[in-house]
Structure 1
Amino acid sequence: MQDVIIGKYRLSKTENFDAFLAEIGLGYIKRKLAQSTSPEITISRDGDRWTMVTSSALSTSQVSFVLGEDFAEDRQDGVSVTSRVTADDNRSSTWTQTQKPGDGKDVTIVREFGDKELKVTSTVNGVTAHRVYERV
């Protein structure tokens, strides 16, 4: 699992991201700014602790977590959430993250790691965005 996941990824394709951002409550200008960048995600591991750094021209965020344990996260939109990342029992190269903000708009993010790309599917209130990142 580790070899497939650890590494650096750059956004290459996005679908329905504006609708997703609108559904979580991001304003028009911030949505347009978010869509104007090509973020990179770097994932590393130290023992049981994983670290995911997302960086773009606008901002950088970092979360560290142990699979299956709750952790506090400040999303890039400024909302504080309780998150949990789990690995799919049948496919350890698939992570599912749940983000629970106080407003009830729970977000589910599924990350599917492959040899050459990372597919990210984000859903809130029935609105789904797809993003593909290429391994660099």
Structure 2
Amino acid sequence: MAFLNKTYKFVKQENFEGFLAAAGVPAENIERVLKYSPEHKLVKDGDTYTYITQGPDSSKETKFQSGVTVDDVIGEQKQPIKSTYVVDGNTVTQTVVADNGKAQFKREYIGDECIVTITREGWDGVAKRYYKAA
């Protein structure tokens, strides 16, 4: 798990706008969300992981154990969600269940890169966000 404790900086994205629209993000907010370029880091302490996201104007920490569902929030409106993270080797898959549906964020750590593949129930598209270790 060489990716633990490393900071990954956002590089680029593909079809993220399509995902945001499918997730019901208001059109007037999509452009701002597309510009969001956070850094992230995953830290492990015993059986507990902490997923840390740092953006220009915000930061967030989510503590979880692999396979255990946690209460969380997402977005500017702090929409309540349930997240289940599963850590399997160099892949961390997060399944999000919200009032407006279910989505999956599959983070694959390959060398000094992290590729996040995003899918959603009811949407045939696939979005990707790319990060590189700092």
TM-score for both structures, normalised by structure 1: 0.88
Residues 1:17 and 2:13 are matched in the alignment: no
Residues 1:115 and 2:111 are matched in the alignment: yes
| Pairwise CA distance, 1:112 | 0.3
Call closer, same or farther: CA 1:37–1:83 in 2, change over 3 Å: closer
| Unmatched runs of 5 consecutive residues or more in structure 2 | none
Identical-residue share of aligned pairs (%)? 27
- Size of the alignment, in residue pairs? 131
- Is the Cα–Cα contact under 8 Å of residues 4 and 44 in structure 2 kept in the other structure? no
Equivalent in the alignment of 2:80: 80
How much is the aligned-residue C-alpha RMSD, in angstroms?
Answer: 1.4
Q: Secondary structure at the match of 1:106?
A: strand
- 1:96-116 CA-to-partner distances (Å, cap 9, x unmatched) read 11111123x100111101221
Name the CA distance, whole Å, in 1 between partners of 2:35 and 2:21.
15
| Pairwise CA distance, 1:67 | 0.5
AA paired with 2:82? T
User: Which 4+ residue blocks in structure 1 deviate beyond 4 angstroms?
Assistant: none
AA paired with 1:134? K
| Unmatched runs of 5 consecutive residues or more in structure 1 | none
Equivalent in the alignment of 1:61: 60
Name the CA distance, whole Å, in 1 between partners of 2:64 and 2:105.
15
| Pairwise CA distance, 1:61 | 2.0
TM-score for both structures, normalised by structure 2: 0.89
Equivalent in the alignment of 2:48: 49
Which segment is superposed worse, 29-38 or 8-17?
29-38
Could you say which structure has the higher strand fraction? 2
- 1:46-96 CA-to-partner distances (Å, cap 9, x unmatched) read 1111111112123222211000111011012422111111133xxx11121
| Pairwise CA distance, 1:20 | 0.5
- Is the Cα–Cα contact under 8 Å of residues 69 and 84 in structure 1 kept in the other structure? yes
